[in-house]
Amino acid sequence: MAQSPARLSRSGSPVSVSFEFFPPKTEEMEKTLWEAIARLAPLEPSFVSVTYGAGGSTRERTHATVERLVRETALRPAAHLTCVGASRAELGAVIRGYGAAGVRHIVALRGDPPGGLEAPYFAPPGGYQSTADLVGAIKASGDFEVSVSAYPEKHPQSPTPLHDIETLRRKIDAGADRAITQFFFDNAVYFRFLDLAAAAGIDIPIVPGIAPVQNFKQTANFARKAGASVPAWLAERFEGLEDDPATRRLVAAAVCAEQVIDLVDRGVTHLHFYTMNRADLVFAICHLIGLRTRDEIAKRAAERAAGAETG
């Protein structure tokens, strides 16, 4: 792929983005997914990730989506992989399959216990006990870039924030190249987490995960399950808009734009968007932080040149 055009943050530092999608269940959902990919691809993200359902429930659909991304686009796909519901041999076959398909980036996750987040996690028969174990296996299988998760507000099953830092350290020691955070709405929790990580000597990139609020009630429910807080001010922004989707979209764009502009102004240079397979809100926010497509850049250059000729 050709080199991306220069992108600068509001502070003058380069900004890059990545996008997360999930594999579609139906023909209609597949159409929506590929419309979103087509809309966001011209922003030339660093990579796009494709999720992997609980217990490997979307394994075939994830693999099919990733293979199509490799085959039909210039995007760099990152395939999710979890420890849940598969033996080491089965996961080894999946890793080799990704490699054969041209995938060189895997997002390694432990995955939620089959009984839900309240249940203890046990390795499946012949499987991996931890993300660090999976990271090590991926790195031993070939030349893969590996991203892992991080939790600014503590994983729901973690006893303390420092335990989360220790867990992240083990993933890094196993070979993780980057951490992507669970989404959050209060930037202070992200920067506190960065401070804890720095104090522990962690120096890999910790990319903030951003969730534009497509549906507030749905997002709030998911946040509670994931251990992410929903500030009272955020609930107030969406209060009374249940039956007003047009205003809700405007509020969602404003809320997310405030968050990402603050992150960029404070030195963050990479943002990972959980798109929910919807493009318009994410594209608008990327525009607000200064990202432009090649066509937009070329058009502005042509307009400036035309203005100089007539001036």
**C-alpha span between 54 and 82 (Å, rounded):** 8
Name the H helices within 212-244.
216-226, 232-238
Tokens 């159409």 sit on residue: 31
- Mapping DSSP to helix (H, G, I), strand (E, B) and coil, where does residue 203 land? coil
Active site residue 20: yes
Pairwise CA distance, residues 171 & 125, whole Å: 22
Rounded (10°) angle between helices 27-40 and 280-288: 10
Catalytic one of 20, 44, 145, 153: 20
Q: How many CB atoms lie within 10 A of CB 275?
A: 25
Residue 78 backbone dihedrals phi, psi, to 5 degrees = -120, 120
Give the CA distances from residue 205 to residues 146, 217, 272, in Å, rounded to whole numbers and listed in that order: 12, 31, 12
Distances from the Cα of 120 to the Cα of 56, 109, 129, 280, angstroms:
18, 16, 12, 39
Tell me which residues are annotated as active site. Answer: 20
